[in-house]
Structure 1
Amino acid sequence: MRNHARLLFLPLLSMFACAPTEGPPDGEAQTGEAPQAAVTPLRAKALGRMRNAAKYFHDNVARHGGYAWHHNASNLSERWGDIQLDEEQIMIQSPGTSDVAIAFVEAALADPATPALKTYALDTAMALRHGQVKSGGWRLYADFKPTPTLRACYLNTTANCGCGGCTTTAYDDQVTQNALIAMMRVDQLLGFANADISSASAYARARMETSQYPTHGGFPQGFSAPVAARPALSASYPPSIGTSCGLAQCHANAYTTEYWDDPTLNDNLATAFVEMLYWAQEIYPARAATYQSMRSAFGDFLRRAQMPQPQPAWAQQYDSQMQPRWARSWEAPAIAGQESQDVMWALLRLYQLDPSVPANRDAVATALAYLETVDFANDTLIHRYIELDDTAPSNLGFYTVKAGGYPVRFSSAPPTYQNYAWEVPSQLAALRAEYNRLASDTTVMKRSCQQLRYDTAQAVDAAVNNEKWLTNYSPGGPRSGATPGDYLDTSTFVRNLRTLAEFVTRTTTDCTAWNY
């Protein structure tokens, strides 16, 4: 109790200890810094870093308004996503161009006195517009060459779309969800006055509306046309085919569709769908009822997708009978630890948005009671895959996959596919805390003022020349084949810029006591 009381007084005491001085401290660059009158040192620094970093990233790092994941600080033409990109190519997939657009929007809202921030957001959204495909959404990359080497059936530039799957909109890896959120938020930032951005948003939303399975409520990994209705089935365990794979139960249903056409939760899609539909409802009131209905239907799907006892969590993907199914050879029918955590965050967000549906929060309680018995390493890790067994589950994870596709418990061999997280951080404690908080407080979850100030100070102090953040990759580069050294990482830029924008905003609202 005494320690807690001391923490409560820290903001007040530190305000006097860190009172503004005349001019910036020694060594503090003044470029872009706000006047000191009526603001405190950290907020002034945060505002200056935000302006400087946004300008540097936009003016020096962007190509056609878009971004890669990693940019070599010594040679900005060396750019990497999950592959090496040339200077005519950008990443849409996170952490890429979509995330930068959202960060610019939040910076512009926090600092309306700097109109350049709106320009940066518009330029980034126009890069996204170039990457929009004719089926409505986006794919992992966009290529600006007259004859693209990363081929896609682009809506605004491609005359001939005879390139196989390049016509498909990708929901996998949250590609289209994040790009559409970015496009919608830029549209709103610009007052719906830019015809190119407004039409791109409208085109994407119209096709997104036909990509949710009618009646069923889920979404596929991608789409190229409106999807057909599916029955609203509840999840069940697939029939066992014995123990030939080395697990307690082996499963291999016959599938009539490709996995990418079936309902998926792969790679944290649940929260991405919820946020996409939330922003659509908020920004376009004329279609709000449609997006509210879609969001409710998706919540219904998530609850039906929860496996029954004794393993009431979620799989990575489901077949037409709503049973966990194989996708790629290392993506097994199993309880999926990472995706289950993401679904629980999505359900808690749905409950926060609409407490009149307590079933969303109740489903999380059931899942937590089970998953809290299977995380490990002092509750810090959870298996990406936990073997299915509807009778006497051993709740064991596996680490690799045999050539034939079957998982192997505790294999000492390296994974068949090594670019994969077989063990992921456990978020169960944070989920339990949010579940408990929502019992009495259904306001949106946000960082504490204390944590926000700490994160802001870190971002301010780490800025090189008050304008950029560098990540060192040595002795190896950020990707196989990349040059070792300092890189401008998009993920770091986005995280820090959004933190600075949040601090600039909240130190005039609910965090004024931390404005020192």
Structure 2
Amino acid sequence: MRDKPWLLLVVIYLLPCQSWAVEPVSRDQAVTAMKQAATYYREQVASHGGYVYYYSPDLLQRWGEGPATADQIWVQPPGTPTVGMAYLRAYRATGDRFYLEAATDTAKALVYGQLRSGGWTNCIDFDPHGKRLAEYRNGHGAGKNYSSLDDGQTQSAILFLMHVDEALQFKNEAIHESVQVALTSLLEAQFPCGAFPQVWQAPVSEQPVKRANYPDYDWRTEGRIKEYWNYYTLNDNVCGYVAEVLIAAHRIYGDAKYLEALKQLGDFLILAQMPASQQGWAQQYNYQMQPIWARAFEPPGVSGDESQETISTLMVIAEATGETKYLQPLPPALAYLERSLLPNGQLARYYELQTNRPLYMTRRGKSYQLTYDDTKLPSHYGWKTESRLPELKAEFQRVLNGTARRVSAVDAEKAGSVVEQLDEKGRWLTTFDGEPLVGQPKFASGEKYLSSQVFSQNLELLSRYVEQLAN
């Protein structure tokens, strides 16, 4: 008799679908997987209590923003504070003090690398002769003293340390002092208008409070400022990360000065909205509240990405303060971005001042030239960004209605899949498939690596799952 392959297909089709599904895991299975993964990461991966972005499976190679030594840890997410927050989440979910101790180790690593100016830079180097040393408060470092708000560096460190301080009931003197120094320096870095610079070394100078306006000079050829980082900054969600810190500081320490600083930040974002017909926001402003150049490929312009981030931040501030004035800039801003969508539904990173034409750059060597043509864009920068307008509009409506934000449940099969992916050593290994990665490591296609972001996300997901089962 001839084989009947169609019969096999029928049998397969009729089998219950759940036979291929990942089995949901029990609380005990999830807790066991969490402990196995966290033990490996704390005992085998950590260096001086801290972490970088990626590791080779044998742990001999490490990467942050470029290759890292065994004595270097990264502050910028998804580095040390990101892993520390995952430990804290696991502690809250399980009550296991192992995670609090792991988080405390991580906090101590950050305390070591706090700068004399009160904040952090993207990396901490424990090697007294290391190439990435900075001027640490503890006197062990040397070099630069730039506390940075870029990409959430200082903000993520403060946020994590505050939560550790709270979990330790404010009894660890070194951690508590570090937090207080950091928060004081952060408030001293706020300009009278409510803005923050990208970096600081000392308290910022007094500057006049003004409303956003267009440059009164030829911005294409004039107005370039070498130390743009000392001016009002929105780039890379500086304000959103700062708002998160101020809200948490007010909740944890109960001091009204943090709420006032948050309101000042919101007031600045209202002032920074560009005039009618272009009611978005720029990446960077001078003290006259005019958009300015940053890096050679970052021209003055209204930014699609930073405008979306600012809309989100204003909604967060409105909810935290209960003041609806922070919502007033949003309808014209949303309408402006809707009008500015590119034919493919994305937003340009830059729109030319006043004309609103999408603005790009070409590159030859180290030289950049402005262009309206998007066919030959340098690959190292995000010249276009995904539109989040539907989500922003829905969130705006939720805030207007005063309804609580919905927290989605953890899918049991997803939790089971995360547990199943853990290998016998307690590692979540990732296979590189060409996806863009923070720090832009040069992995080969198919290469396996350990990721602090994946570890943190998986540990947090299982923590949420464990809490979910307890309710």
- TM-score normalized by structure 2? 0.88
Q: 1:354 aligns with which of 309, 312, 321?
A: 321
The equivalent of 2:453 in structure 1 is 491
Structure 2 SS opposite 1:329: coil
8 A contact 2:259–2:321 mirrored in 1: no
Deviation of the 1:475 alpha carbon:
8.0
**Aligned CA distance change for structure 1 residues 455 and 178 (closer, same or farther; 3 Å):** farther
Retained in 2: the 8 A contact 1:238–1:251? no
1:133 corresponds to: 115
- Whether the 8 Å contact between 2:362 and 2:368 is mirrored in structure 1 is no
Question: Residue type of the partner of 2:67?
Answer: Q
Distance 1:170 1:433, change over 3 A: same
Match of 1:410? 373
Matches within 5 A, 1:110-121: 110-112=93-95, 114-121=96-103
Q: 2-side partners of 1:99 and 1:398: how far apart?
A: 33
C-alpha distance in 2 between matches for 1:477 and 1:344: 26
1:388 aligns with 2:349: no
1:102-117 equivalences in 2 (<5 Å): 102-112=85-95, 114-117=96-99
Q: Is the 8 A contact 1:401 1:407 kept in 2?
A: no
Letter in 2 for 1:87: A
Gaps of 5+ in 1: 1-16, 19-26, 29-39, 242-249, 510-516
Shift in Å at residue 490 of structure 1? 1.1
- Aligned residue in 1 for 2:302: 335
Q: 1:202 to 1:251 in 2, by over 3 A?
A: same
| Distance in structure 2 (CA, Å) of the matches to 1:295 and 1:458 | 40
Given candidates 204, 211, 226, the residue that maps to 2:189 is 211
> Does the Cα contact within 8 Å between 1:476 and 1:483 map onto a contact in 2?
no
| C-alpha displacement of 1:264 | 0.2
Write the letter of the residue equivalent to 1:97.
T
Taking only aligned residues, the RMSD between alpha carbons, in angstroms, comes to 2.7
Q: Secondary structure at the match of 1:126?
A: helix
Q: Deviations over 1:342-364 (max 9, x none)?
A: 11111111112123x21212222
| Corresponding position: 1:258 with 2:227 | yes
Q: Return closer, same or farther for 1:446/1:274 CA change in 2, 3 Å cut-off.
A: farther
> Matches of residues 20-419 of structure 1 in structure 2 within 5 Å?
41-73=25-57, 75-112=58-95, 114-158=96-140, 161=142, 163=143, 166-213=144-191, 215-239=192-216, 241=218, 251-254=220-223, 258-285=227-254, 288-355=255-322, 357-376=323-342, 379=345, 381-389=346-354, 393-400=355-362, 405-415=368-378, 418-419=379-380
Question: How far apart are the structure 2 equivalents of 1:156 and 1:321?
Answer: 38
Letter in 1 for 2:458: N
**Alpha carbons 2:305, 2:385 under 8 Å: kept:** yes
Give the structure-1-normalised TM-score: 0.81
The question of whether the paired residues in 2 share the 8 Å contact of 1:92 and 1:138 is answered with: yes
The CA distance in 2 between the partners of 1:483 and 1:130, in whole Å, is 35
Q: Which residue of 2 aligns with 1:447?
A: 407
Q: Aligned letter for 2:246?
A: L
**What do the CA deviations read for 1:233-283 (whole angstroms, capped 9, x no partner)?**
111122363xxxxxxxx5454367721110001111121011010111111
Q: CA deviation at 1:190?
A: 1.1
Aligned residue type for 1:422: W
Change (3 A) 1:335 1:462: farther
Alignment partners' CA distance in 1, 2:273 and 2:288: 13
Q: CA deviation at 1:501?
A: 1.9
Corresponding residue of 2:12: none
Q: Which moved more, 1:482-491 or 1:114-123?
A: 482-491
Change (3 A) 1:175 1:474: same
Q: CA deviation at 1:300?
A: 0.4
More divergent stretch after superposition (120-129 vs 50-59): 50-59
Please say if residues 223 and 292 of structure 2, whose CA atoms lie closer than 8 Å, have aligned partners that are also in contact.
Answer: no
Match of 1:472 among 417, 428, 431: 431
The one-letter code matched in structure 2 to 1:212 is Q
**Aligned partners of 2:460 and 2:301: how far apart in 1?**
36
Task: Call closer, same or farther: CA 1:462–1:371 in 2, change over 3 Å.
Answer: farther
What is the distance in 2 between the residues matched to 1:410 and 1:41? 52
Letter in 1 for 2:65: D
Identity %: 33
The 3 A distance-change label for structure 1 pair 452 and 231 is: farther
Shift, 1:330, TM fit: 0.5
Mapped partners of 2:258, 2:91: distance in 1: 26
Q: SS at the partner of 2:449?
A: strand
Distance 1:465 1:364 in 2: 50
Output one character per residue of 1:414-469: Cα deviation in whole Å (capped at 9) or x when no partner: 41xx43211222211111111111122343x35322x6556545533433348332
- Distance in 1, matches of 2:423 and 2:468, equals 25
8 Å CA contact 1:217–1:297 kept in 2: the answer is yes
Q: Match for residue 3 of structure 2?
A: none
Note the C-alpha offset of 1:502: 2.4
Residues 430/460 of structure 1: CA separation in 2 closer, same or farther (3 Å cut): farther
How far does residue 477 in structure 1 lie from its aligned partner after superposition? Answer: 11
Distance 1:43 1:354 in 2: 38
Q: Which amino acid aligns with 1:371?
A: L
Preserved contact between residue 401 and residue 408 of structure 1 (Cα < 8 Å): no
Q: Distance in 2 between matches of 1:486 and 1:99?
A: 21
Amino acid at match of 2:116: K
Could you tell me whether the CA contact under 8 Å between 1:352 and 1:442 is conserved in 2? Answer: no
- State the Cα distance separating 1:493 from its structure 2 match: 1.4
Counterpart code for 2:63: W
Return 253-262 or 336-345, whichever deviates more. Answer: 253-262
Question: Whole-Å Cα distance in 2 between the matches of residues 157 and 476 of structure 1?
Answer: 40
1:306-365 deviation digits (Å, cap 9, x = unpaired)? 11111101100001111110011001101111111111111111112123x212122222
In the superposition, relative to structure 1, how do residues 359 and 395 fare at CA in structure 2: closer, same or farther (>3 Å)?
Answer: farther
